[in-house]
Structure 1
C-alpha cells in the first residue's frame, strides 16, 4: 500500500535552486496577478455599467495572446531566454504600474483600460512560452511532470484565492491599490529571473518572424505524438468545458439569484479547487512512464466527470441539494484529472521536442490552452439553447470520452509514448 509521502506532491524539483526561486516567487505573484484579472473587468463595469464592454476583455486579451504567444515562442527559440524573461517581466511590472496610475488619476476612459490590458497580455504571451521552455534546461526529464504539477497547483490556488481577496479588497481599498499590489509582487519574479544563469538556445536558430512560426508548425505536424497532445486537449476543452453554462445552471437549476450568488461562486471555484487537490496529491505523476496513455486516461476521467455533472444538473429538480453536491464533486474530480493531463502534456512538449523549437511549441500550447475554453463557451452556449444545459453538459462529456478514444486509436504511437524513469531519489 503506498505511503502518504508517496501520494503527496513530489517536491524534488525544489532542490534545484533556480526552480525553487521561480516557484516561491510564483506563490507571491500569482495572487497579485489575479487581483488585476478581477480588478480590470470590475473597473470597466464601474465606468460603463455595461456587461458588453466587460465582454470586450475577452477579445482584447485573446488577440494579443494568440499573436504574441506564437511570436513569443519564436523569440524564445532565438534569444537568450533569461534575457527575454527579464524584458517581459519588466513589461509586466510596467503595465501593472500604469494600471495603478490610471486608477489613481480617476480614469474614466474604458478604451485606455482595454488598451493597457492588451499590452499586458502581449507581454504575458511572450513570457509564458519562454518560461516553460526554460524548465528542461534546469531539470532532468524525469522531474518535469512534478515541476509542472507544482507550478499548476500554485496557479490554480491563485485562481481561487485571488478573486476572493479582490472581492473583499475592492470595496475597501479601491482598484488602484490592487494594481499597486500586483506591481510590487512582480518584483519577486524579477528577483528570481535575474539570478538565472544564461540560457542560450541549443541548435540552429532562425529569424523570429512568420517563417519561423510556420517552421514550428511544420515540426509539430511531423511529430505525431506532440501534435496529438494538442488534439486531445482541444477535444477535452471544446466539448467538455461547461463554464459558459454556470450562470444559467446556478440560477435556473439550483435556484440561485440571477446576479450570481453562492452557488454561482461554488460552480466557478470547483474546477480550480479540484486542480489544487490534484496538485497536492500529485506524487504519482513522477512515477508514470507511459505518459501518452496517462493523458488519455486523465481526459477520459475528465469527460466522464463532465457527463456526471450534466446528469446531476438534470436531476436537480428532484433532489436539488443532493445534486448540487454531486455536481460540485464531478467538477472537482474533473479539475484534478485536467491538472494531471496538463502536467503530462506539458512535460511531453518539454522533453520530446528539441531545444531549438521548444519555445514555439510552448507558444502553440499557450494559444491552445487559451483558445480551447473560449471556443467551448460558444459551443456550449449554442448547444444549451438547443437542448438545455443538462443535456449540453452531459453530451459534451460523452463526446470527450468518445473523441479522445477514437483519436488515441487513430494514432497508437501517442498511447505507446513513454519516458524512461531514472532511479528513484529520496525526496
Structure 2
C-alpha cells in the first residue's frame, strides 16, 4: 500500500536535498496567496468603476509591452547579476505597488488610471523577476529532480491561487477592495524577509553585462532548438486562445451566479492542485513533449466545454479539468527547459520563457474581452477553446521533435546532465 501511494504522491526529493528550495517554496506560497488577492480585486475594481468588459480586457494590453521589454532584459540580468538580489529587489517593488493600490482604494472616489499604472508596473517587475527565479531553481535542484521540483512548485502555486481568489471574493463582496490590497501588502513584507534568507547567487565571472548581443545569443539558441520552440509555441497558443479569466465577472453575471466568481478563478487551480498532488508518476516520464501537447489540448477542450454549459457547477468542473491539463503541460515544459538549457544561458532563455508564459495570457485577456464585446461572453469562451485545440494539433504536426523528445536520448539533455554532475 505504501509503495502504491509513493508512486502517486509528489516526489519530495527537492525539498529534502536543497535548503534554498525550501525557502523559495515557502516564500512563493506566501507571494502567490497575496498576489492572487490582488489578481481578483484589481479587474473586479475596474469592472465596478467602468462596467465594461473591454476596459477589463485592456489591462492585458497595458501589461504587454512592459512584460516583453523587461522580460527580455530580466533574462540577461539573471545571467549577469546576483539572482538573489534581483529577486529581493523586484519583490520589494511589487510590495510597493500593492501599497499604491491600497492607498487608491482608500480614497473616497478611487481613480481608474492608477489601476492601469500598477498593472503595467507589476508586469515590468514580474518580467524582471521570473527569469532570475527560474534560473536559480535550475541551479539549486539536481538535474534528475527537475520534474519533482516543478510538481512541488505547482502545489505551492495552486495552494496560493486557490485560497487567494476564494478569500478575495469574500473580502471584496463584504468589505470592499481595500482589505484585499491590505492583505497583499502584508504578505509581500513577509515574502521579502524570506527572500533575504536565500544563499547569494553571483553570476559566472565570464558572463558579460546585460546587452542586446547577449539577448540575441539566447534567442539564436532557442531558435536552433525545435523542442524549445515547440514548448513556447504550444503554450502561447493555449493561452492566447483559451485564457478567459478576464471575462469571468461577465460569465458569472450571465449564469446568474455572482457568488461563484471567486470559485471560477479558483477552479483551474483546484484541478492543477489535484494533478500536482498525484504527480509522483510524472518523475518516471521520459517523453515530456507528449505531456506538453496532450496537456495543452486538454486545457483547450475543457475551456470550450466550460463556455458551452449553462449549469454553473458543470462550468466549474470544466474549469478544474482545464487546470489539470494546463498543469500537465506545464510540468512537461518546465522539465524540458531545466533539463536541456546550459546554465550560462539559463537566465536569457528564462526571459524568453517569460514572454511565452506571460504574453500569451495578456494577449488572451485582450482577445477574450474584445470577442466577448463582439459575440457575447460564452461564445468568446468556447470559441477560443476550440481554436486552441486546433492550434495545438497543428503545432504538434509541424514540430515532430517536440512530440518525440526523450530525456534519456536527447543530446541537449544528456549534455546538461553531464555539466550538472561536474
What TM-score bracket applies, with the shorter chain setting the length?
0.7 to 0.9
Decide whether aligned partners of structure 1 residues 292 and 54 sit closer, same or farther in structure 2, where only a CA change above 3 A counts: closer
Contact 1:13 1:143 in 2 (8 A): yes
Please list every run of 5 or more consecutive structure 2 residues that lacks an aligned counterpart in the other structure. Answer: 409-413, 418-422
Corresponding residue for 1:287? 284
* Superposition pairs of residues 10-409 of structure 1, within 5 angstroms: 10-15=11-16, 16-43=18-45, 48-49=49-50, 51=52, 54-103=56-105, 108-170=110-172, 175-202=177-204, 204-243=206-245, 250=252, 256-257=255-256, 261-262=258-259, 265-309=262-306, 312-313=308-309, 321=311, 324-379=312-367, 396-409=384-397
**Aligned-partner Cα distance in 1 for 2:46–2:88:** 30
With 133-142 and 381-390 compared, the bigger mean Cα shift is at 381-390
Contact 1:32 1:185 in 2 (8 A): yes
**Aligned-partner Cα distance in 2 for 1:352–1:83:** 26
CA deviation profile, 1:192-249 (whole Å, cap 9, x unmatched): 3222223233484233233332322222111111111101112322334455675665
Question: 3-state SS of the aligned residue for 1:77?
Answer: helix
TM-score, normalization by structure 2: 0.83
CA deviation profile, 1:136-175 (whole Å, cap 9, x unmatched): 1110122222222222233233233212212333466654
The Cα RMSD (Å) is 3.3
Corresponding residue for 2:9? 8
Question: 3-state SS of the aligned residue for 2:286?
Answer: coil
**Aligned-partner Cα distance in 2 for 1:113–1:395:** 29
> 1:14: how far off?
1.2
With 300-309 and 136-145 compared, the bigger mean Cα shift is at 300-309
Decide whether aligned partners of structure 1 residues 169 and 93 sit closer, same or farther in structure 2, where only a CA change above 3 A counts: same
**Aligned-partner Cα distance in 1 for 2:190–2:231:** 32
Decide whether aligned partners of structure 1 residues 309 and 57 sit closer, same or farther in structure 2, where only a CA change above 3 A counts: closer
Question: 3-state SS of the aligned residue for 1:417?
Answer: coil
**Aligned-partner Cα distance in 2 for 1:153–1:164:** 17
Please list every run of 5 or more consecutive structure 1 residues that lacks an aligned counterpart in the other structure. Answer: 423-427
CA deviation profile, 1:300-339 (whole Å, cap 9, x unmatched): 33344345445x53xx5xxxx5xx5444333322210111
- Number of corresponding residues: 407
Contact 2:61 2:362 in 1 (8 A): no
With 158-167 and 288-297 compared, the bigger mean Cα shift is at 158-167
Contact 1:203 1:355 in 2 (8 A): no
With 191-200 and 165-174 compared, the bigger mean Cα shift is at 165-174
**Aligned-partner Cα distance in 1 for 2:378–2:171:** 35
> 1:288: how far off?
1.0
Decide whether aligned partners of structure 1 residues 107 and 59 sit closer, same or farther in structure 2, where only a CA change above 3 A counts: farther
**Aligned-partner Cα distance in 2 for 1:386–1:99:** 31
